[in-house]
Amino acid sequence: MRADEISATAKSDPLICLFGETLLAKHKRQQIANIVSNRMREMARMLMVIKTLEEGIRSFFDVLKPEMFQPLIFAVKDISGYDVVKKEFRAPSLALHMGTNIKIMCDVAYKIVLEKRILPNINWLKNSEKKNEIKDLKKLVEAHWCNELASLALKNIKEKQWGNPKQLPLSSDILALQTYIDAQSVDCYDKLTNNIDIKTNYKILIECVLAQTIIFNRKRVGDVQFLKVETYMKDDNHLDQEAFTESLTTVEKIISKQFKRVVTGGKGSRPVPILFSKRTQKYISCLLKIRDMTDFIPKSNPYIFAVPGSKEWISGAHVIRRLAIKCGAKHPQLFTSTRFRKHIATTLQLMTMQPHKIEQVATFMGHTRKTHAQFYRLPQDIFQTAKVAKVLLLLEKGKGKVFKGKCLSEIEIEEEASILESSDDDAPTK
């Protein structure tokens, strides 16, 4: 944690520390520590506010009683920047998940009492009713947190979502980025093969390969940046799949031989496949060879996209943002992995695909078909303007029955120009 008053409060409170241990115990990945650290700081900030409101509060354990429900509500509103007049939160997502955090704190405290553990600043022996107090507070949170905070916070989040237009990266910007990455990769690879400034060119090449892999596969940043060398080196192509490849076209057979498929763990421990082209494989082989020959990447670092001289991994989000600025894109702020994922999903919706094929694409993307349909779809502003308006124009002219049984893409408006021109003529003049 960053060394400040908040981290000091979190580290000195035994219940907040046990809260962090509980969250860490559920996950395997090392990077979850950053998320847990933030959650612990949130609880520490709330405790600091409560200490200014109530006397005699030594630790978060003292807060866990029914009469502290309203101070907890006030503290969450304070740290999430609640505006009483507008009924809006500066950080609505923080207010939304704090209820879950408090319930986890109640479960941890209840476990302490049941196990009769003695911890610093936690004295439950003098309070025989502590178990009932913890249970009653949790019931209050479960029953009334939604009315007090969560409902407003959720409305706040949804209003911000529909209030902001859903913008996707421009095709010209994507092409500019791809061209820039390709040029940088070729240049650095040539220099590395000739042993020219190995450290600098290694760093540039590995960042280019990371960005290229994320963009090409349209993956979450975490699915790629946490890929381990051991996972990449596994050879699962020895299985005889001739019976399956016979059903492919000639072009598809050639493409299948040009790519290496690696399966890694994704969000929620879901298997996520990643494809590597022949050129990308060549670059990675060069990088791994340099890792074996030099020592500026620690041998203990298991990640392919490793930070030189560290056990950490390279941040894919930062790399893409930096490369987007360098390539001269008009809108570099739109280059995020989420927007790239929306880009491919919305493009697929313009095609006619059968449900089972859409499910295959969704599985490759690392989510379910329901998620693919609900969250990665054609932007509503475009759909409502172009598609729905076409139906409304037909209904206005009384032609709704003529196109019975047809899909929207099959409907053509013959008098389209005249309809739009007549609409313009009806508009008031300035």
> What would the pLDDT profile of 41-100 be if each residue is shown by its tens digit?
999 999 999 999 988 888 899 899 999 999 999 999 999 999 999 889 999 999 989 999
Residues in the chain: 430
Averaged pLDDT, 362-369: 60
Instruction: Dig out the tokens for 34 from the structure.
Output: 């950053």
Instruction: Dig out the tokens for 84 from the structure.
Output: 């009483």
The Cα–Cα gap between 37 and 20 comes to: 7
* Mean of per-residue pLDDT scores for the chain: 80
Location of structure tokens 């694409």:
361
pLDDT higher for 230 or 395?
A: 230
Radius of gyration of the chain (CA): 28
The pLDDT confidence band at residue 237, using thresholds 50, 70 and 90, is low
The Cα–Cα gap between 405 and 126 comes to: 75
66 DSSP assignment: G
Q: Where are the beta strands (DSSP E) in 249-322?
A: 259-265, 271-277
Sorted by where each begins, the domain ranges of the chain are: 5-163, 171-375, 388-426
Q: 164-204: per-residue pLDDT in tens?
A: 666 777 778 888 999 999 999 999 999 999 988 998 999 99
The Cα–Cα gap between 344 and 376 comes to: 9
Q: Are strands 88-89 and 259-265 parallel, antiparallel or unpaired?
A: unpaired
pLDDT of residue 417: 44
Task: Give me the torsion for CA of 310, 311, 313, 319, rounded to 10°.
Answer: -10
pTM for this prediction: 0.69
CATH number of 171-375: 1.10.443
Residue 375 reports pLDDT greater than 50: no
